[in-house]
Amino acid sequence: MKQYHSRHTAVLTTRGFYTILTVCALIIAASAWVLWSNAGDTAEDETQASLPIVSPAETLPDPVINTPVLNEDDAAADTENTADTESTAETADEDTTEPEETQDEQSEDTAAQDDTPTAPTPAETTTAPVYVRPVAGAVITPFSGDELLFQPTFGDWRVHTGTDFAAEAGETVLSLTSGTVQEVTEDGLYGTCVTVSHDADLISTYRGLTDVRVVAGQALNAGEAIGTVAETMDAEAALGTHLHVETTRAGTPVDVLELLGESEIE
């Protein structure tokens, strides 16, 4: 009895081992099949998710159906328009080319002009004024400047801002130099007086005149007649018949003999 029990136990032990092994193999196979199924579904989902969504293509118009049919007249007009367009383009190209040629010619002309020597500019020449003696007589009383001279008519000493020239009554008085008559006035002591303005702020005044031949604003040349010497001059009656001439430059009295290039001794 004891021996039988041992064999039976061994048999059961061996069979139980294989049974358990088989069950484990089935379990492992079932688990593998489940995992394989899930992996396949997941891969399919991922593949579908990664694929781009393609929208249906737009339906293009059928060129045969939508293209308008031109009659012969329209086709001829299109042909003429195409020809006119090509002709206009060619003309525009020609017009565009012509200015470039014109610019090149202008550049050559300009270069030729630059090479031409320029004539020197003539230097400006200034003509010196011409001075003429108002009358031919000698100097009776010279210009004194700041020096006092005895005045016989009034019997006192005073400066003499002019020059007295001996002259005959009726003798013609000439303009010292070219200028414009500024005014013709009457003075109680010097009689008729004529004032002439000249260049460089020079002014000349002729006192003791008669038969005046000029008017204010009249242009005069050097040596042109102004009037004649009067018989008397109350301011300098003691000197007899003579001409009194005064000259100023910018308001300052100047000696008329210096302008004439003369001296008192002459």
- Check pLDDT > 60 for residue 61: no
pLDDT number for residue 84: 58
Instruction: Report which residue type is found at 259.
Output: L
Cβ within 8 Å of residue 199, ≥6 positions away = 129, 178, 179
Range with lowest mean pLDDT among 2-6, 107-111, 115-119: 2-6
44 pLDDT band (50/70/90 cuts)?
Answer: low
- Fold of domain 139-260: Glucose Permease (Domain IIA) (2.70.70)
Averaged pLDDT of the chain: 78
Judge contact between 138 and 165, C-beta under 8 A: yes
How far the first Cα of the chain sits from its last, in Å, is 197
pLDDT number for residue 127: 77
Q: What pTM, to 2 d.p., does this model score?
A: 0.55
- Check pLDDT > 70 for residue 1: no
pLDDT number for residue 158: 96
pLDDT digit string, tens, across residues 194-235:
999 999 999 999 999 999 999 999 999 999 999 999 999 999
Ordered by start, the domain boundaries in the chain are: 1-41, 139-260
Cβ within 8 Å of residue 247, ≥6 positions away = 162, 176, 202, 203, 204, 205, 253, 254, 255, 256, 259
Distance, in Å, from the CA atom of 255 to the CA atom of 76, rounded to the nearest integer, reads: 104
pLDDT digit string, tens, across residues 74-87:
545 555 555 555 55
More confident residue, 186 or 11: 186
**DSSP readout, 27-95?**
HHHHHHHHHHHHHHHHHHHHHHHHSPPPPPPP----HHHHSPPP-HHHHHHHHHHHHHHHHHHHHHHHH
